[in-house]
């Protein structure tokens, strides 16, 4: 709150994946909102996204009474693939292809942030950052990282505590 107050932010945008990290970040943000502040969640599925991820994201937003925008990225991803193949005569594959999805999501988050004046909150944790599991300009997108000092085991501990004390964070 101190950081956002000093910077003048009153709205927050968080990308949901259906996973623990983004669910915990959204819950923590909701619990710490001050009067006059708003929070929104974006879920950006691709052709690889599981139905369970969509379901868990929607359930959490319903429970927290936070608007969820579902913004599919499949068409954008296909367009980047075609463009890349056209100019390099070689298709995107493996990690290159996977990271394009993450970076598309990052672009859409920052576009939304610029559009509505919100601050994007990062969903990476210390374990992911330490082993390079977080994609630069993708998963690591955000001006503030609520979980940046927590190891993955601590993320689960905190989520369990919030679930036990407040009944939040659906079990998936």
4-8, 75-79, 137-141, range with the lowest pLDDT: 137-141
The values of phi and psi at residue 35, to 5°, are -60, 135
Structure tokens, 112: 């939304």
% of the chain residues with pLDDT over 90: 73
% of the chain residues with pLDDT over 70: 97
Q: Each residue of 120-171: pLDDT tens digit?
A: 999 999 998 888 777 776 778 888 889 999 999 999 999 999 999 988 876 6
What pLDDT does residue 60 have?
A: 94
Contact by Cβ (8 Å): 19, 172: no
Beta bridge mates, 82: none
Q: Each residue of 108-133: pLDDT tens digit?
A: 999 999 999 999 999 999 998 888 77
Within 8 A by CB and 6+ apart from 3, the residues are 144
**pTM for this one?**
0.91
β-strands 68-70, 119-122 pairing: unpaired
């Amino acid at each position: 709150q101190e950081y956002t107050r000093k910077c003048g932010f009153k709205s927050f945008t968080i990308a949901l994946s259906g996973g623990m990290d983004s669910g915990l970040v959204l819950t923590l943000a909701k619990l710490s909102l001050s009067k006059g502040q708003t929070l929104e969640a974006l879920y950006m599925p691709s052709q690889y996204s599981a139905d369970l991820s969509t379901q868990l994201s929607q359930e959490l937003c319903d429970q927290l009474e936070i608007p969820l925008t579902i913004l599919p990225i499949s068409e954008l991803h296909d367009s980047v693939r075609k463009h890349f193949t056209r100019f390099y005569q070689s298709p995107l594959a493996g990690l290159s292809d996977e990271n394009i999805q993450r970076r598309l999501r990052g672009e859409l988050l920052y576009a939304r942030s610029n559009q509505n004046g919100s601050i994007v909150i990062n969903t990476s944790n210390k374990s992911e950052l330490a082993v390079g599991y977080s994609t630069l300009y993708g998963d690591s997108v955000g001006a503030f990282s609520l979980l940046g000092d927590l190891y993955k085991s601590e993320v689960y501990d905190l989520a369990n505590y919030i679930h036990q004390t407040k009944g939040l964070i659906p079990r998936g």
